[in-house]
Amino acid sequence: MNTKENSLELMKTRIIHSFRWNVDVLSPLSEELEIPINEFEEILINNLDMSSLEALHATFESAKSEFLMEKLRCDLSLYWLVDVLKIISTEDYNKLKSKLLGKVAKGEEYEIVLKFAKKEVYHLLKK
């Protein structure tokens, strides 16, 4: 590996080691996919170029919100309630979604947002 490649790899490693990458991407994905963290880190460094990492840097927060909303959708079985059974209307779902995205954007913890969301779903089902 020449000096240029070496310094590029170092820059990529630094980004991936940053706090938010570690907490939001590296640790949870390595755990969920059952891939040792150092091996998963190597996969990321080999597969991502600097321009992807820089582009992502700018959109990281919106990517994170989108992902947490997808996770909430799963954990609340919203596919069944909204899309299949249609016992929560699209209008109510959109209102709920923006409420939850607001909480996520404020940095509230996932488990706390999920607990709040379950109560909201309960009220929508009972109304």
Closest distance between its own copies and the C-beta of residue 97, in Å? 15
Tell me how far apart the alpha carbons of residues 14 and 70 are, in angstroms, rounded to a whole number: 28
- Nearest C-alpha neighbor of 116 from the set 64, 84, 74, 72: 72
Cβ proximity of 45 and 13 under 8 Å? yes
122 binds its own copies (CB under 8 A): yes
Among 23, 85, 105, 112, binds its own copies (CB under 8 A): 85
* Residues at the interface with its own copies (CB under 8 A): 25, 28-29, 32-35, 43-44, 47-48, 52, 56, 63, 66-67, 70-71, 73-77, 79-81, 84-87, 118, 121-122, 125-126
